[in-house]
Chains A and B, each alone.
Chain A
């Protein structure tokens, strides 16, 4: 049994404690926007926010969490895709296949929350998620648009 706070709701799940948070989100809570890519915290497709920090959920056992930690998934980032990162992604058509993008968007949203005006060098250093389609340049442009362009986060 684990008690979690996910997307603003406290919920209880019946699951082995060593189950990674990723699989609790996907299989117990039906929040499949968070993706499995590697299972060893290499690719970032499973990125969620834990108290605002980008966290790779595939390598964190659910037993490491309690209801006091606020977990936010891609489904909970904004109610209507209105987060400045999502809006910038829409304006620039960032996703290709889109599979890595929930993790990419969550990583980017955490970055701009911590660093409201990241430099290009900071973006390149901080966002280590893998995209095999190769959206990196539009991801950089998207973060810059979200933080300095029209409708910037702040």
Chain B
């Protein structure tokens, strides 16, 4: 009756991992799509399939990349569906099906911590509508009014006669009913939730314990060949010449192919042979106009932007320049945050089959619809003749969302080998050098303090890279990138500054290097929170005030910002000395921010040895996401966000020399390991009335809390990240 229930690719199912045979690995989502094909497994509506055995298949439009959205969204649907949670499974509808059905599943993009906060209403209505149809089907069979029936745990009961029927028994009839108008579908109050709001275990854990979870890298199709690729290391450069004589003679090698005008790939029977042969290909590059660019040369450009007369205004109140000029005391500081790579554990990969009639792609993607559009464009086929099969991601963090460069590559390769499935897998080195990097920026902060040490004026001049200009240039208006001011707005939005500053100017001098930017978990909130919250700490000390009290004085009109800040201060014991650890004195730093709709704050406890060795002992972090759908998964996100945020603060830096990224692997691009991991105490304080995201906001408070604690410990302000480049010995 619809695209999703069409039997497809059944022939390639049924392989078992662990068998010593050449088998076919098809990801679970596809397997379930095919399994749902039986006509006895009717769709009640787009979100809900109920099988005769009462198994409930909940369709998930967003992508699971570890953040737990698959479980959280299923909880929301199940809550309204009133089904038996123990019998819930999930599947991904495909982007092609979404297109064919008028985007019945809405937006598939999974970024900006918006999986739940932007789809909670329509997925709950989908569950509620399905429940109403199931109840109606039972009522029709019994010839009773639906109002006399109730539903709980997948059982419908006719209250007057106590007759019961299960969802599986009436699902087919329910699927034939017309859907209720969504405007008339009521939703439960969160206080009545039984499944949502509970710390239920994730639905996808078991397969991740024994190697059976199939990632894109693990995919195998019949007759598939493997490709390794090398793109010009200088962004914007091209292939000038290729000598593949030696490579073509190597075992297993099938083809040496160009990809666009900027990359070369070797296709072989196995990936290891393809990669080995690629190492034997001599490529001469035309490195283009950026061949001499460096981090140092770009820093000069950004530094000039700090004082440039032209800048786009993000937030303004009163007259900041005049107030600062008139202030008896002026404070100024310049901060900087470098490029960073997402470094997903699973490197970029995709598998594609192209024929003149059709193109299919299997890939881990945060945005199935964007992957589908990229595939169609690269395939030279109408979108209706293309399909993308989403696979669980081995990490996303923004790399697998907006730009699908690897999808275009694999389709380009598949197009050169019609009918043959081609799997493209990047090396880690390719992944490090061909990233879409966290933007590089600097910020000059200038403030005036009045005679009582109150903040009378603040000017934040951000200079540097715009992600939007790099990816969605059509969204730049009059040179202004609205996203660059994340966390610094004052519009009652999802990322507001949280301080009442009488004279305020926040502006951005856009300066774009040739290194392509990307949305990187936390996006612009990360550096903006560093700039503002470290400078707040500087101002408090300049005013001779306690950093907590200095902030509180500015937060009277921002009760939710203040509540999370107060919560971490209270839990951490702000105002009392931290106990020594291992003979080292321990110092605290505070910060707060608002982003992706949630209010967050952190207090870090650190020690710094005489030799300058930093140890982060404990993080207390508070989150007010409005509603909490799965508290234990939110805690996991908060803990993980400190690994991501502190990895960036401690080590994260992609530097440019001769136009290319210098870091090549985890030896030159270190990330946090277990030995450096602090204890994280997550305070979850949902206050209701709004829906905030949880995958990203606390990343932004990781670095400023630690930097402020380092100042408390050493008297040193570290204003340029990463910390590994800083000398932390006390002066």
Contact = CB atoms under 8 A, between A and B. Distances in A.
> Which of A29, A74, A95 has the most chain B CB within a 10 Å cutoff?
A95
Interface stretch (B289-297, B479-487, B565-573, B672-680): B672-680
B59 interface: no
A6 B19 CA distance: 11
Contact of A136 (B427, B428, B643): B643
A61 B220 CA distance: 23
Interface string B147-169: 00000000000000000000000
Given A37-B428, A133-B640, A93 B209 contact: no
B251 A16 contact: yes
A105 to B, nearest CB: 7
Given A30-B22, A128-B674, A134-B639, A35 B214 contact: no
Nearest to A39: B428
A28 B272 CA distance: 11
Contacts of A98: 66, 204-205, 207-208, 213, 392, 394
A110 B370 CA distance: 42
A125 B643 CA distance: 17
Contact of A133 (B20, B209, B643): B643
Given A133-B643, A140-B674, A31 B345 contact: no
A124 B677 contact: yes
Given A43-B345, A100-B345, A130-B671, A137 B665 contact: no
Given A93-B205, A130-B666, A33 B211 contact: yes
A102 to B, nearest CB: 5
B209 A89 contact: yes
B211 A102 contact: yes
Interface string B260-272: 0000000000111
Interface in B477-535: none
Interface in B381-424: 392-397
Interface string B233-275: 0000000000000000001000000000000000000111100
Contacts of A34: 211
Nearest to A103: B345
Given A35-B217, A130-B671, A96 B67 contact: yes
A71 to B, nearest CB: 13
Contact of B66 (A7, A11, A96, A130): A96
A135 to B, nearest CB: 7
Interface of A, secondary structure class, is loop
Contacts of B191: none
A135 B672 CA distance: 11
Given A30-B20, A99-B215, A90 B206 contact: yes
A32 B205 CA distance: 17
Interface of B, secondary structure class, is loop
B395 A30 contact: no
Interface in A11-56: 11, 16, 19-20, 23, 26-40, 42-43, 45
A102 B346 CA distance: 13
Interface in B10-67: 17-23, 25, 65-67
Nearest to B21: A30
A112 interface: no
Given A11-B20, A99-B345, A132 B395 contact: yes
Contact of B209 (A31, A39, A95): A95
A36 B347 contact: yes
Interface residues of B, number: 70
A95 to B, nearest CB: 4
A42 B667 contact: yes
Interface in A78-116: 78, 81, 86, 89-90, 93-102, 105
B68 interface: yes
A38 B23 CA distance: 25
A31 to B, nearest CB: 7
B25 A134 contact: no
A95 B22 CA distance: 28
B316 interface: no
B642 interface: yes
A138 interface: yes
Nearest to B633: A93
B673 A130 contact: yes
B201 interface: yes
Nearest to A43: B666
Given A27-B272, A33-B212, A99-B395, A93 B674 contact: no
Contact of A90 (B65, B205, B215, B345): B205
Contact of B210 (A16, A20, A33, A93): A33
B139 to A, nearest CB: 39
Contact of B23 (A23, A30, A81, A136): A30
A123 interface: yes
A31 B636 contact: no
B655 interface: no
Contacts of A131: 345, 643
A104 B217 CA distance: 18
B378 interface: no
B345 A45 contact: yes
Contacts of A27: 226, 270-272
A147 interface: no
Given A36-B217, A138-B639, A133 B674 contact: no
A84 B214 CA distance: 23
A58 B248 CA distance: 24
A83 B108 CA distance: 37
Interface string B320-335: 0000000000000000
Contacts of A86: 209-210
Interface in B178-213: 201-202, 204-213
A38 B427 CA distance: 8
B343 interface: yes
Contact of A135 (B25, B214, B344, B640): B640
Contacts of A6: 20
Nearest to B18: A75
A127 interface: yes
A16 B723 CA distance: 44
A139 interface: yes
A73 interface: yes
Given A23-B270, A30-B23, A95-B205, A125 B675 contact: yes
Contact of A20 (B201, B218, B272, B642): B272
Given A23-B271, A140-B674, A40 B210 contact: no
A36 B394 CA distance: 11
Contacts of A26: 218
Contacts of B393: 97
A146 interface: no
A96 B68 CA distance: 7
B17 A99 contact: no
Nearest to A36: B217
Contact of A77 (B210, B396, B672, B677): B210
Contacts of A11: 20
A93 B632 contact: yes
Contacts of B587: none
B357 to A, nearest CB: 30
B66 A133 contact: yes
A134 B644 contact: yes
B641 interface: yes
A31 B673 contact: no
Given A40-B428, A90-B206, 11 more contacts: A30-B17, A31-B17, A31-B211, A32-B211, A35-B345, A39-B428, A40-B665, A43-B345, A97-B395, A98-B66, A100-B394
15 contacts: A28-B270, A29-B20, A31-B17, A34-B211, A35-B394, A37-B346, A40-B665, A75-B212, A90-B201, A90-B209, A97-B65, A98-B392, A99-B395, A128-B674, A135-B636
What 6 pairs across the A-B complex have the smallest Cβ distances? A33-B211, A134-B643, A134-B640, A97-B66, A99-B394, A98-B208
